[in-house]
Amino acid sequence: MKKRSRLVIVLLVILMCGFFLYPTLKWYGGVPQSTKELATGSNVQIKEYSRGQASRDLRALKELVAKDSLTILPDEYGYLKEQAKANYKAMKKPVPKTWTVAALFGGFYNEQDLFDSCEQYYRTELLGLKALSAKALQLGLDLRGGMSILLEADVKAFEAKKGSSATAAQVTAAVKQDIEILEKRIDQFGVSEPVIRLQGTDQILIEVPGAADPERVNSFLRGKGSLEFKMVDTALTTQLDAYYKANPSEVYTDSGALKQPDFLPAGKLAAGYYVSDSYGIDELDRFVVIEEEVGLDGSHLESATTSTDGITGRPVVNFQLDSVGGDVFYKLTSTHVNETLAVVMDGKVKAMATITQGIRNSVQISGFNAAEANDLAIVLRTAALPIELTVSSQQAVGATLGEDAVAAGLKAIALGLLLVVLLMFGYYHVSGLVANLALLFNVVIMLSVLSAFNFTLTLTSVAGLILTLGMAVDTNVIIFERIKEERRLGKSDIASVRAGFDKAFWTVMDANITTIIAALVLSQLGSSSVKGFANTLAIGIVSSVFTALFVSHLIFDAAVTDREGKKLHISWRKN
């Protein structure tokens, strides 16, 4: 391969490393700790925070206007200017020169619009940071503390419920539904950055970093989503809608919860009608007033599916109730014909439908698009896990235990690295420095590949990293020793370097390919902690071969051709 193409490839790799490492460097280097904590909160926490902040800003702005509408807009609300400018332009009005509070209010259509802009500002910032943190290299549970739980599907109970034996594919399908449900549930418990994934065919691995509060995690696993059917009060709903529209700052309390207005009589509740939103979680669409009394409890629900209506071709959701539930539901629906029924999950209205006639066991709801129907079916199913889960293993590491291990481990790695660097220089002279450069480059490549593939850095992957450093040096050692031998035969520097790299090529390849076979087998068959080790090792082998054959080779070629007549230093001895 020509020197130039080799140089181009090396430069390309450096660029790619920079690209993949950037989020990691930015996250650990440029984000203040308090913001980090906010951004790593759950989406629900971010939402509550954004809404709370928006309510606070809106109230403060209203107070300023009431006091003196010509006050210059304080800097902390400067973020609103952009949107106000755009609105002025859209309204075809002149953009004000000095931003007073009144001028700012003029830039928004109504209070709700202003509130939305405030919320969007806080939301965009935090969600952006959250996305950044997802791209950054994260520490594994063993390094920063946390809890990992392996759950196993209770196949016997599943078969008993089903009444026949279940195939592995059926079990896996049910476990996948469980995962879907757990994912929806876990966010509501305010657990940050949880990992939930299928392991094997019938196991679920859950990893919760940080707060290793077993109580909280257990309550999440046990807690069945509360699903209820309740009647809607249409007249009060219209009144409530008008009230909230007129007073957007009165909708939420500071903690982001819904405020119950005073005019609602006892036994009636204001609730939000939610659809999936830009946080990826439930967003309030509008408000409805529902009866406090439960029409039907979701525990009577047996199954829920989506299908298409044979006549109209529109998507519908079908669900089956057990016999007790069927009786209750029939009584409810037959006395409330032409009224609206709401499906309420954890206090949020997820769907509404008008009752056309009395219904018993088999219920069909229509009136939404395919995606909405699918969502509702999931909501209905979320009430119970399709297949029960038992805890197969649970491991918790206190964060401090992790911290000590990290500190000691990092110190040891740094020391090991330093010793290797010194040893290489001591033995191979300037050429040792080339190997050291290749070694450092190797570390950078490995870290960037780890972050590119979203691997977490665990204790065992750190071990893999160290081993790879030893092997990266080894590849250079094989080549150097070969170059030395060639020179002992009386060859010139250029000829020795060429022969050294050529002859060592297959040695290096054979040696590394056999090791990568072991690494790949492990990454497929090993347990999760061994997998982390194997992945790092596999990445490290590829990158160490690359750095030796490209980076070291390039430097050697440059050294022997550009410094004609000077001696290549590959040892302190004169030979």
Partner 1 sequence: MVKKDIPVTKFRWYSWILAIVLLLVGGISLVVNGGFNLGVDFESGLSQRIQVAPAGLSVSYSGSEDATLSITGSSLSLEMRGSEGVAVTLFKSASYPTASDLAAALNAVDKITATAIDGSLLTANLLSGYGFPATLSQEPTKLNFKATGAVSIEEIRSALNDLGNVKVQTIGASDSQTFQVRLGIKDNDTQSSMEEAVRGALDSYFGKGSVVVLSSDYIGAKFSANLLSSSILAIIVAMALILVYVWFRFKFAYAVSSLIALLHDVLMLLGVIALFRFEFSSTTIAALLTIIGYSLNNTIVIFDRVRENVSLNKSASLAAQIDKSVTQSMSRTIMSAVTTLVAILPLAIFASGDIRMFAINMGFGILFGTYSSNLLAPTMLYWISKAQKKANVVQKVVTAE
DSSP character string of 103-165: HHHHTSSSHHHHHHHHHHHHHHHHHHHHHHHHHSPEEPHHHH-EEEEEEEE-HHHHHHHHTS-
Per CB under 8 A, 260 contacts partner 1? no
The CB-of-379 to partner 1 minimum distance in angstroms stands at 26
**Interface of this chain with partner 1, residues 408 to 447, rule: CB under 8 A:** 408-409, 411-413, 415-417, 419-420, 423-424, 427
Per CB under 8 A, 502 contacts partner 1? no
- Short-list 472, 476, 456, 440, CA closest to 537: 472
Assess contact for 235 and 217: CB atoms under 8 A. Answer: no
Per CB under 8 A, 488 contacts partner 1? yes
What would you measure as the largest C-alpha separation in the chain, in angstroms?
105
Task: Assign 175 to helix, strand or coil.
Answer: helix
Residue from 210, 272, 358, 367 that binds partner 1 (CB under 8 A)? 210
Residue from 56, 89, 161, 224 that binds partner 1 (CB under 8 A)? 56
Residue from 291, 346, 392, 491 that binds partner 1 (CB under 8 A)? 392
Q: Give CA–CA dist 278/462, Å, rounded.
A: 37
Closer residue to partner 1 in complex, CB, 74/470: 470
Task: Assign 322 to helix, strand or coil.
Answer: coil
If phi over 0 gives left and psi between -120 and 50 gives alpha, with beta otherwise, what is residue 485?
Answer: alpha
10 Cβ contact partners less than 8 Å away, ≥ 6 residues apart: 550, 551, 554
Part in contact with partner 1 (CB under 8 A); list of ranges 53-61, 265-273, 275-283, 552-560: 53-61
Which two three-digit tokens encode residue 231? 């009647």
Which two three-digit tokens encode residue 432? 């040792």
Residue from 522, 539, 545, 555 that binds partner 1 (CB under 8 A)? 522
The CB-of-265 to partner 1 minimum distance in angstroms stands at 27
Residue from 13, 17, 27, 53 that binds partner 1 (CB under 8 A)? 53
The footprint of partner 1 on this chain (CB under 8 A) covers a number of residues equal to 94
**Interface of this chain with partner 1, residues 13 to 52, rule: CB under 8 A:** 33-34, 37-38, 41, 45, 48-49, 51-52
The CB-of-39 to partner 1 minimum distance in angstroms stands at 10
Instruction: Find tokens 């939000």 and name the residue.
Output: 272
Q: Give CA–CA dist 544/538, Å, rounded.
A: 10
Angle, CA 160 vertex, CA 157 and CA 164 arms, to 5°: 130
Assess contact for 124 and 140: CB atoms under 8 A. Answer: no
Per CB under 8 A, 543 contacts partner 1? no
**Interface of this chain with partner 1, residues 466 to 485, rule: CB under 8 A:** 466-467, 469-471, 473-474, 477-478, 481, 485
How many C-alpha atoms does 282 have within 13 Å on its Cβ side? 21
126 Cβ contact partners less than 8 Å away, ≥ 6 residues apart: 38, 39, 46, 49, 50
Closer residue to partner 1 in complex, CB, 225/464: 464
Per CB under 8 A, 514 contacts partner 1? yes
Residue from 134, 160, 517, 558 that binds partner 1 (CB under 8 A)? 517
- Short-list 357, 360, 325, 324, CA closest to 338: 357
Per CB under 8 A, 7 contacts partner 1? no
Backbone angles phi, psi at 312, to 5 degrees: -85, -20
Residue from 240, 355, 438, 462 that binds partner 1 (CB under 8 A)? 462
Closer residue to partner 1 in complex, CB, 281/405: 405
Residue from 403, 558, 561, 563 that binds partner 1 (CB under 8 A)? 403
Per CB under 8 A, 526 contacts partner 1? yes
Length of the chain: 575
139 Cβ contact partners less than 8 Å away, ≥ 6 residues apart: 402, 406, 456, 457, 458
Strands 456-457 and 138-139: parallel
The CB-of-126 to partner 1 minimum distance in angstroms stands at 10
The CB-of-62 to partner 1 minimum distance in angstroms stands at 17
Q: Residue 109: is it exposed, middle or buried by C-beta count within 10 angstroms (0-12/13-18/19+)? A: exposed
**Interface of this chain with partner 1, residues 93 to 152, rule: CB under 8 A:** 142, 150, 152
Assess contact for 47 and 279: CB atoms under 8 A. Answer: yes
**Interface of this chain with partner 1, residues 174 to 203, rule: CB under 8 A:** 190
**Interface of this chain with partner 1, residues 151 to 170, rule: CB under 8 A:** 152
Residue from 20, 27, 121, 533 that binds partner 1 (CB under 8 A)? 533
Closer residue to partner 1 in complex, CB, 33/323: 33
**Interface of this chain with partner 1, residues 221 to 240, rule: CB under 8 A:** none
The CB-of-413 to partner 1 minimum distance in angstroms stands at 7
Closer residue to partner 1 in complex, CB, 1/489: 489
Per CB under 8 A, 205 contacts partner 1? no
Instruction: Find tokens 């709401």 and name the residue.
Output: 342
Residue from 251, 289, 373, 537 that binds partner 1 (CB under 8 A)? 537
464 Cβ contact partners less than 8 Å away, ≥ 6 residues apart: 532, 533, 534, 535, 536, 537, 540
Per CB under 8 A, 569 contacts partner 1? no
The CB-of-425 to partner 1 minimum distance in angstroms stands at 12
Per CB under 8 A, 542 contacts partner 1? no
Instruction: Find tokens 């707060």 and name the residue.
Output: 211
Per CB under 8 A, 329 contacts partner 1? no
Closer residue to partner 1 in complex, CB, 86/521: 521
The CB-of-188 to partner 1 minimum distance in angstroms stands at 14
Residue from 91, 391, 453, 561 that binds partner 1 (CB under 8 A)? 391
Closer residue to partner 1 in complex, CB, 90/423: 423
Residue from 15, 70, 160, 521 that binds partner 1 (CB under 8 A)? 521
Closer residue to partner 1 in complex, CB, 218/361: 218
- Short-list 255, 239, 366, 358, CA closest to 313: 366
